[in-house]
Structure 1
C-alpha cells in the first residue's frame, strides 16, 4: 500500500468534500431561512419533532452503513473483489429486511407516540400525522440505499458523493422556492418536496453504482457466516447509534414535552446552523475512514496510529477555527441569517459547538474500533455514557432547569466518553492511551484555550462601533491561525503544509 498515494487520495477527497460542503452549507442555510419564514415557528418546530420520530426509528441505518463500509473497505484493502460482491449482496438483503421492520415499527409504535405523547395543537395533529407518514417513507428510501452509499464511500469516489449531495441541496432549494405556489398546506407540501428529492437522489445513486461498478452486482445467494458477522458488528455498533439518536433526536422530543414547539424551532435552527459547520470536519473524516480500515486490514499499525492521530487533531482544529467566530458573535450571525431569530436559538448554537469540541474525536475512534471487528466492550460502555444524557437532563428539567441544560450535560459526558474511547482502543488495537491523550487531546484543548484569550478579550472590551463584529471576527481568525500553527502542529506537520502551499503558489504563478 503506497502511503504517499494514499495521502494524496485523502487530500483530494477532502478538497472535493469541502467544495461540496461549502456549496451545500450556503444553500442549506438560506433554504432554512426560507422554510422558517414560510412555515412559521410552530410548523417548523412540528416538522423538526415529527422528523425526530422517524430518525429514532431509523437508528439502525447508521450502524448498518458503518458495518457495510467496514467490510467493503476491508475486502478492498486486501484486493478481494469476490468478497466485495458477497458483502454488497448480503448488505442488500439485510437492508430490505430492516426496511420492513422499520415500516412495521413506524406504523405501530411511532404512530402511537405521535398521537399520544407529542405536544402538538389538536388543530395541527392531522397535518403532523401526514408529515410523519411522508417522513417514514423517506426513512425507507434511506435504508435501502445504504449498500450503494457504502459502496461509493468504500471505493473513495468522493467526487460523485459530493455531486449527489450538492444536487440534493439544489433540488431542495428549488422546491422551497416553489412551495408558496403549491395549493396545499405548506407543512405537507414541504414534506412532499423532501420526499421527492430523496427518491430522485436515491435513484440517481443506484444508477451511478450500476455504471461505475459493473462487476459489483447483487447476487441471489445467502452467506450465513457473513450475515452473522455483519449483523454482529452492526448490532454492537447500533448501541452507539441508539445513544446518539437519543441525544440528538430524543432531545427534540424532550424539549417538546417540557417547552413546546417554539423551543423546538429554536433548537432546530441552531442544529441546522451547527450541522453545516460540523460537516466541514466530517468531510475530512469521511475521506480518511476507508484508509483507516485498510491500514488495519494489512496490519500497518504505525501508519494507522499516525493517521488516526492526524485525523483527530486536524478535525478539532478545523472545527475550532470555523466555529470560534460564530461562538463570539452568535446573536449577530443568527440575526443576519434569519429575519426573526427564535428565543434560545443562539444559546443552543453556542452550547452545541462547545459539546462538539469533544464529540469531534468520536468518529475516527469509532472507525478504528469497527476495523478491529471487536465492538462489544467498546459499544456497551460508550453508548451507556452517551445515553445517560437524556435521563440526567430529564430529571433536571423536572426541577425547572433551563432548556440549554441538555447541551451542558452533553459537554461533561462528551469529555469523559472521549477518554473512555481512547482507553478501550488501547486494548483493541494497541493505541497508547498516554501518548494519544497528551499529544492529541491535551494539545488540542491547550491550543484552543491559548487561541481564545485575545478574541474573548476583544469581545469584552472593544467599544461598540458599527464594524465591531468584523473586527472581532478578524481578530479571532488571526489568533486561531497563529495558535494552531505554533502550538497545535508539530514541526513535521508545519513542513508538510508549507511545502504544499509552495506547490500551490508555484502552480498559480506558472
Structure 2
C-alpha cells in the first residue's frame, strides 16, 4: 500500500508540473506568434526541428540511464550511491557522451543539407538562419550534458525536485520571451538566444541541487565494458525507436515546407505543440511509475501487474479526457489562445487528438517492456513502422496534393504500431496484457465514444460550462465502466473522508 501511495504521490507531483508547463507553454506560443509573426514562427519551427530530433535523443538517454540505475538502486532511497550503482552511473555517462557526439554530428549533417538544398523561405537572411541553427545546437548540448542529473532525480524517485526543475525551465523561458516582447524585438535570432539563456540558467540550478543533495556523485568515468555493453545495447535500440518516432513527426514538417509553405508549417507547429504538451502531460505518469516497474520486475508477486494496469487507467483518463475537451471546444480555445492562426489549424488539431489517443494507449506498454529490458525486437519493429510515415506521406501528398492525407497515413500506421505493441507485450508479459486490452483499451474507447455522444446532446455555448459538462460526463462514465469494484470503493472512501474533514 505504501508503494502505491508513493507512486500516486509522485504521479500527482509530476502531473501538477505538466499542467503548469502546459498552460505556460501555450501562453509562450501566443507571445512567440506575436513576436515573430506566422511565417517567421513557421520558419523557426523548421530550424528547431533538427534540435528537437536531438531532444528525443536526450529522452532516450534519460530513459536508458534511469532503467539501469533504478535496477541497481532498488529500494535504497538513502541518496547515497553504492559502489555498484556508482559504476553504473559512470557507465551511463560514458554512453551518454558517445550518444551526444553522435547526435551533434547527425544534427549538423542533416541540418546543413536541408538548409542548403531544400529550405523554402525568403523572409530572413541566410546568415541569420545559420546563427539560429548553431545557437539551437548549443541549447541541445546543454540539455544533453546535464541529462544524467535528471536521471538521478527520477531513479531516486525525487519527483518534487524533478518537477521543480521542469517548472523553473518553462518559467525561465516565459520570462526570457517576455523580455523580448516588452523590448519590441522581432528578431528570430534574439528569440533563439532567449531560449538558450533560459535553458542554461535552469540546468545550472539542476547541477547545484544534485551536487548538494546526493552523496558519492563525483564522476570517475571508470571504464568497465561488462557494465557499458548492456547499457549501450539498451540505449542503441531505444535510440532507433526514438529517432523513428520523432522523424515520423518532424519529417512531416520538412515535407510540408517543400509542398505547402510556411503558413501550413505554422498550423503544423501549433498542432505539434498541442500533441507534445498533452503527451508529455500523460507521460508524466509513466515517469513516476517507471522506477517502481523496474524494481518490481521479475519478483514473485502481482505488484508489477497491478502497477501496469493502474498506469494504463490513469493514462487513458488523462489522455481521453483532455482529448475530448479539446475536440469539443477546439475553435473556441484557439480563439482564446491565439489572436492569429492559419484556418487549417482546426483541421490539423482534430486529427491530432486521434494521434494523442493512439500514442497514449502505447505508453504503459512501452514502460512495462522497458522495465523488462527485452526491447530489441520491440523497438526494431515499432521504429520501422513509424519511419514508414515519411515515404507513405510523401507518396500520398504527391498523388492527392492535400495535407489531410498526412494525418490519414499517420493514424493508420499508429494503429498498426499499437496492435504490434500489444502482441509483443503479451509474448513477454503473458495474460496481463489481455486484461489491459479489455479493461483499458476497449473500455476506454467505449467510454470515449459514449462521452462524445452525450456531450453533443448536452452542448452549451459558454466554453467554461461546456468544458465542465465534458469533464463530468467522461468522469462518471469512466468511474462506472472502467474502474474495478475495489477502485470504486477506494475512491468513494477518500471522498467520504474529505467530506468529513470539511464538515
TM-score interval (norm. to shorter): over 0.9
Answer yes or no: is the 8 Å Cα contact 1:316–1:444 preserved in 2. Answer: yes
Distance 2:203 2:396 in 1: 42
- Structure 1 alignment gaps of length 5 or more: none
Shift of 1:106: 3.2
- Indicate the residue corresponding to 1:502 in structure 2: 496
For 1:485, the equivalent position in structure 2 comes to: 479
Q: Does 1:12 find its partner at 2:1?
A: no
Cα displacement string for residues 150-196 of structure 1 (whole angstroms, at most 9, x for unaligned residues) = 11111111111111111111111111111145586621111001101
For the pair 1:259 / 2:260, whether they are aligned, the reply is yes
Partner of 1:317: 317
Q: What is the match of residue 217 of structure 2?
A: 216
* Aligned partners of 1:452 and 1:479 also within 8 Å: no
Q: Give unmatched runs, 5+ long, in structure 2.
A: none
Mapping 1:110-189, distance limit 5 Å: 110-121=111-122, 123-180=124-181, 186-189=187-190
- Counterparts of 2:480 and 2:148 in 1: how far apart (Å)? 43
2:27 paired with 1:33? no
**Match of residue 236 from structure 1:** 237
Instruction: Give 1:507 deviation, angstroms.
Output: 4.0
Stretch moving more, 415-424 or 45-54: 415-424
Q: 1:260 to 1:85 in 2, by over 3 A?
A: same
1:84 aligns to what? 85
Tell me, in whole angstroms, the C-alpha distance in 2 between the residues paired with 1:401 and 1:183. 39
Distance 2:310 2:124 in 1: 53
In structure 2, what is the equivalent of residue 74 of structure 1? 71
39-48 or 474-483, larger mean C-alpha shift: 474-483
Q: Give how far 1:199 is off.
A: 1.2
- Match of 1:393, SS state, is helix
Matches within 5 A, 1:228-307: 228-296=229-297, 299-300=299-300, 302-307=302-307
Cα deviation, 1:57-77, whole Å, max 9, x if unaligned, reads: 454323222110100111122
Q: Deviations over 1:14-61 (max 9, x none)?
A: 221222222222222112101101100111001111111122245432
State the partner residue of 1:65.
62
Give the Å deviation of 1:338. 0.7
Q: Measured at CA, do residues 58 and 162 of structure 1 come closer, stay the same or move farther in structure 2, by a change above 3 Å? A: closer
Whole-angstrom distance in 1 between the partners of 2:455 and 2:392 = 33
Shift of 1:140: 1.1
The residue correspondences of 1:351-500 to structure 2 (distance < 5 A) are 351-458=351-458, 467-500=461-494
Match for residue 342 of structure 2? Answer: 342
Q: TM-score, normalised by structure 1?
A: 0.92
More deviation, 404-413/302-311? 404-413
Q: Aligned-residue CA RMSD in angstroms?
A: 2.1
Instruction: Show the counterpart of 1:95.
Output: 96
